[in-house]
Amino acid sequence: MSDLEASELVKSVASKRTAVFRIVDTSVDEQKAEILKNEGFQEWITKNESFNELRELLFIYSAKQINQEKENKENKSPSISSWKLLKIKLSPVEERILDVLIEAKAATVSREDLVKIIWREDPNNSNLSQVSYRIKRIKHSIEEVFDIPDGVVTDWRKGYRLNDEFYQKIYESYELA
């Protein structure tokens, strides 16, 4: 596989959580290492390396990934970029719903109240259903960005409120801003 083909392949899987290693002909100097990393390769090995060396490289890479995930989960306050990423993922309506829930703090907001605030009309089956759908998308986006399942809690027959952990992260991000 040519360098160009390998680079294109890496770009096509870059959004997935996939580690891509490159087999190279000769040892890699700092300049070549920088090029490989910029192309999306996590590690590389030479053709001369043994299976034992490959196994050790995979073990070390795996240990680095585990440590990185632990560090990310231990970081309690979101970065401003995480907050911006969440806002980018949300539609304008979803962003307004989230803003209403943030303003409510830990209080539960009914679907009917959300409809009145967001659409400024009396609730009907269509917009009540829209609220449920939008909440589901907001929950998914929060989990994707902040790794918090159920960032929005459903209080059965009452409405929705922010999960305490997620609210705390948002509060801290406002403090950072």
d(CA 96, CA 157) in angstroms, rounded, equals 22
pLDDT digits (tens, 9 = 90+) for 48-67: 888 787 778 777 777 777 77
d(CA 166, CA 175) in angstroms, rounded, equals 14
- pLDDT band of residue 69 (cuts 50, 70, 90) is low
Find the distance separating the first CA and the last CA of the chain, reported in whole Å: 47
Average pLDDT, stretch 148-161? 91
**Of 14, 59, 174, whose CA–CA distance to 105 is shortest?**
174
* Average pLDDT over all residues of the chain: 80
Contact 152, 163 (CB under 8 A): yes
- pLDDT band of residue 177 (cuts 50, 70, 90) is very low
- May I ask the CATH architecture of the domain 80-176? Orthogonal Bundle (1.10)
Q: Could you give the residue range(s) of every CATH 1.10.10.10 domain in the chain?
A: 80-176
Average pLDDT, stretch 133-138? 93
